[in-house]
Structure 1
Amino acid sequence: MPLDTSMFEGIRVNRPATERRADGFGSRRSVKKAYQAAWLVNAIRLIDLTTLAGDDTRGKVHRLCAKARNPLASHIREGLDLGNMPLTVGAVCVYPTMVPHAVEALDGSGIPVASVATGFPAGLMPLHLRLAEIEWTVAQGAHEIDIVITREHVLTGNWQALYDEIMAMREACGDAHLKVILATGELGTLSKVYAASMVAMQAGADFIKTSTGKEGVNATLPVSLTMVRALRDYGALTGHKIGFKPAGGIKSAKEALQWQVLMKEELGRPWLEPDLFRFGASSMLGDIERQLEHHVTGRYAASHRHAMS
């Protein structure tokens, strides 16, 4: 849609009130016992299982993809009585040069390959080079592209420049889904986070995402609540549903529950499905598997008992 600054200009986000509301997702609202196990199984379906390291190799990516195909040990599946229910992660996320390895390893699984692009994580490259990286990555077989924005556009309030940049990236993605990383830890205020979320959605984002995972501050519940409220407002004004992806620093099963409670309470049941909600995570799956084994056996297993992604 065309840029419409009236949808966010003049809106100020009250940080103390946002933080009080966010605190409730981790304390007053929780699920226990069999319900907790069910929510943790659902969290597995929402994970973008990720490796974004300088020492990534074909072997490392293939190992990650094997875990993506079979995220739970067979005895845990049996103990949960999952039967033949298909259970995989939501996607595997890698660097552009690792995309062919991921596509090879996930062939026939139905698991999409996501890739970061546009000069990740800083994004400080000429626009034409960032667009070329998107096009090259899509040509390698990536189904989803996680792009980074120019933070300067947000910090200076140059909304037209931000809109034009994201729209160009949307066009470069073609049929691939576009996830717009806002790098919220570097945007200064929650009001700027809200405005940047609105601009990204107007410019064609399929998902808005909190962080690269490389900032000093990554996904937090107050920031996520701000972005989710932007999603809700945008949907009310346009009728379109946009997805959300918190990423960076999310490591525990407890956090998986907190973010799902946020989505359920703020946006409703449809946002507990992988087409509208994802976690960007690598180590969280291991803790979820550990908690589910405790639910099945009554004992916590040593970490070395679970296959590492």
Structure 2
Amino acid sequence: MSSSLLVKTLEDLSLDSGYVAGDPCPSLSLSSSGRSRQSPPHTSTPHRGSWWQHAGSLYSRNGSWDTVSTLPEDAADILAKCPCLPELEEYPWTEQELREVVRKVVSSDASFTGDAVHRLSVLLRRALVRISREAQRLSELHRRCTRLEVQSAVRLVLSWGLAEKCVSSAVKAVSLHCMTSGDTARQQGKSARCGLTLSVGRFFRWMVETRVSVRVHEYAAVCLTACVESLAEEVAGRGLQAARLAAELEGGPVDGVTCCPVTAELLDGAVNNDAELWGLLQAYEHLICGKNAN
């Protein structure tokens, strides 16, 4: 291959770039404020000698990296310098569908407020952007996105425990889809055949319109739908546990949370105190999950 070919970095991969000519749809842009389009081309790696000159200070006691930045800095100033994930204007689910997903987790005594469901939708959009970007990067070689790319992206982005649960749900959904056939299967939708609440067809259309890859397989949409639904159930379940703990601290019933429903504040508190969810559901690009959220 010619040395003049540009090496695409991870920051240059955005879901709205696509592989065909034409301007992307602005409402479906997943790039971060156009930074990837204006970034200079990646050049060759600098000479190794200059690196060793800077690294020589690591072996001196007074010039170690531990003493480089000892002055305290405000956390707000640090986060203000970090690039943020783009906010999705169009996403492949509705709040009514999320409420039905939440009903699978919460008991009859518990309740999710409307603000909590809306907050859950916002948090899931961030996870969807991270998984879709990684799936696009993995799909670039063969210019197609299958269930394998989606499952690999989930394993790379999510923590180990969450990834196993989401991948298991995806395998189960694909298996149910393969087992249903005949006239009765044609009368059912894809979501019903897969045992899912979220719309598989809407996820498939979203993956095509956002140009995750040139070719998107239907099983990739099934896997992504199952993973997002499983992640929504996990976040809702941990928010329910936080509500029960708040009810116990207030002297309420232990078995239910009738006096302390799951609100947006309780959901945010549950996410902020969870090592597996905090980095994944934050708006900053440099955080992924519990693997590097610290």
TM range (shorter): under 0.3
Which has more strand, going by share of residues?
1
Select the structure of larger CA radius of gyration. 2
TM-score of the superposition, structure 2-length normalised? 0.23
Higher relative contact order (CA 8 A, sep 6+): 2
